[in-house]
Structure 1
Amino acid sequence: MKGNMNNMMKQMQKMQKKMMQAQDELHEMTFEATAGGGMVTVKANGKKEIIDVEIKEEVVDPDDIDMLQDLILAATNEVLNQIDEKTNDTMGQFTKGLNMPGMF
């Protein structure tokens, strides 16, 4: 019985190390989304930190600030969704079959 417990603990430690490596790799990735046919581009890293926003000059209309705000929101939300999907795909492999509520 003790041997099985030690073996299980080693496997859990190995899985934890792989999970941490995967998370580190995710944090280093860059994600990009656009809105308005490329008029607004938002880039973020895997930590969900916005690292760049590009706005084409022709979309800047002082009389239509609402449209520009909508484009920025749309691109930002899309890039954050991309990060969530990649995180769930990557980290989900570690919880497959474990049936643990609240885990990815």
Structure 2
Amino acid sequence: MAEAFNLGEVFSKFLEVQRRLSEVQQALSTKTVAVEAGGGMVRVTANGLQRITRIQVDPEAFRTEDQEVLEDLIAAGVNKALEEAARMAQEEMQKTIGALLPPGLPLDLSLLGR
């Protein structure tokens, strides 16, 4: 005989996932990743909510006569930092709430921190 659908249990599980998501978001706001581009000429830091928190440019990079190269390095660093932050967030979410979700259900982080 099939087990009866328990709406209360489903709602309870939903509330637990929601609570844990909130905890993970709070934790991710304090975790950071730092990446380099151009051999260290540009260093970009992002938090786990995929927000850029710092961009550092080596003073030597400003002495170059090719502004486009510097702009490309900054863009590359920002993109790399956001990718690393997204990867970190995905791993943290999986560790924290993965066991509560049905198998095979992907974690959608597109709304995280928005």
TM-score higher than 0.5 here?
yes
Secondary structure in 2 matching 1:28? coil
Residue 108 of structure 2 corresponds to which residue in structure 1?
103
Q: Relative to 1, partners in 2 of residues 1:78 and 1:61: Cα closer, same or farther, differing over 3 Å?
A: same
Q: Relative to 1, partners in 2 of residues 1:96 and 1:76: Cα closer, same or farther, differing over 3 Å?
A: farther
Residue 43 of structure 1 corresponds to which residue in structure 2?
45
Question: 1-side partners of 2:108 and 2:43: how far apart?
Answer: 31
Give the root-mean-square deviation of aligned CA atoms. 2.4
Instruction: List runs of 5+ in structure 2 lacking aligned partners.
Output: 110-114
Question: 1-side partners of 2:24 and 2:84: how far apart?
Answer: 16
Aligned length: 102
More displaced 10-residue stretch of structure 1: 57-66 or 32-41: 57-66
Q: Relative to 1, partners in 2 of residues 1:47 and 1:72: Cα closer, same or farther, differing over 3 Å?
A: same
Question: Shift of the alpha carbon at 1:11?
Answer: 2.1
More displaced 10-residue stretch of structure 1: 55-64 or 30-39: 55-64
Q: Which amino acid aligns with 2:103?
A: G
Residue 70 of structure 2 corresponds to which residue in structure 1?
68
Q: Contact conserved, 1:32 with 1:41, CA < 8 A, in 2? A: yes
Question: Shift of the alpha carbon at 1:98?
Answer: 5.1
Q: Contact conserved, 2:52 with 2:82, CA < 8 A, in 1? A: no
Residue 87 of structure 1 corresponds to which residue in structure 2?
89
Question: 1-side partners of 2:37 and 2:102: how far apart?
Answer: 34
Q: State, as a whole percentage, how many aligned pairs show the same letter.
A: 25
Q: Relative to 1, partners in 2 of residues 1:26 and 1:96: Cα closer, same or farther, differing over 3 Å?
A: farther
Q: Contact conserved, 1:95 with 1:103, CA < 8 A, in 2? A: no
